[in-house]
Amino acid sequence: MTIFDRNCRACPRLAGFLDDVNERYPDYYCRPVPPFGAPDARFLIVGLAPGMHGANRSGRPFTGDHAGILLYQMLHKYGFSTCEHSEAVNDGLELIDCRITNAVKCLPPDNKPVGAEINTCNRFLANELQTLPPGSVVVALGGIAHRAIVKAMELRQADYRFAHAALHDLGQFRVLDSYHCSRYNTNTRRLTEAMFDAIFAEVRALLDK
């Protein structure tokens, strides 16, 4: 039951794109990006896919680009990490009762994985969701992550619609939806700091109950 394969080349378009990017940026990580955090965590964050100059460069989800700034700040504020900044894989940062993963593990062109790629990668997420202890909470960052979780649990999408701050009981765990903390969403204030803070406050309260 593997949750990650560093050598995966199952999506030809993504594998070829990683090869091209690696030629342009030889010092970038340019591989499937592994989940980061505690293997027995009760809090799992599911993002979309590595960003070109963030996770794809550093090898750690949400590390090195704008999308991670607010995320790691919130994790620290609510006691889920040892530091409020994630700089690089060797920075000593540890997550506490928390893990971050992506619905798609490889960098997609234009930040947009196609449906077949999301589906091919879904087995890793499905296996990872099975590792969650009872009482766990999953935060879905954006609609694609939300739908990948519903698919991985073999549930009907129509029964679980994405909406910011919606809490879904999936039986084995709960899913709390949030708009993705992308630069676009935070710049346009579709997702404000207060909205994102409220998501993490709710996770903390759910896990502390």
Does 32 contact ligand URA by CB under 6 A?
no
Q: Which stretch binds ligand URA (CB under 6 A): 43-51, 82-90, 91-99, 126-134?
A: 43-51
What is the Cα–Cα distance from 202 to 164, expressed in whole angstroms? Answer: 13
Give 139's contacts (C-beta < 8 A, 6+ positions apart): 43, 44, 45, 46, 175, 176, 177, 178, 199, 203
Ramachandran assignment for 39, one of left (phi > 0), alpha (psi -120 to 50 degrees), beta (any other): alpha
Does 47 contact ligand URA by CB under 6 A?
yes
Smallest Cα–Cα separation from 56: which of 105, 128, 124? 105
CB of 87 to ligand URA, least distance (A): 14
Does 61 contact ligand URA by CB under 6 A?
yes
Map the footprint of ligand URA across residues 130-149, applying CB under 6 A. Answer: 141
Q: Which stretch binds ligand URA (CB under 6 A): 54-62, 78-86, 120-128, 151-159?
A: 54-62
What single-letter DSSP state applies at residue 109? G
Binding-site member from 48, 121, 139, 153 for ligand URA (CB under 6 A): 48
Binding-site member from 52, 55, 121, 129 for ligand URA (CB under 6 A): 55
CB of 48 to ligand URA, least distance (A): 4
Binding-site member from 51, 59, 108, 113 for ligand URA (CB under 6 A): 51
Q: Are 97 and 137 in contact (CB under 8 A)?
A: no
Binding-site member from 45, 52, 67, 129 for ligand URA (CB under 6 A): 67
Does 102 contact ligand URA by CB under 6 A?
yes
Radius of gyration of the chain (CA): 16
Does 113 contact ligand URA by CB under 6 A?
no
Does 59 contact ligand URA by CB under 6 A?
no
Q: Are 28 and 57 in contact (CB under 8 A)?
A: yes
Burial class (CB in 10 A: 0-12, 13-18, 19+), 106: buried
Binding site for ligand URA (CB under 6 A): 47-51, 54-55, 61-62, 67, 102, 141
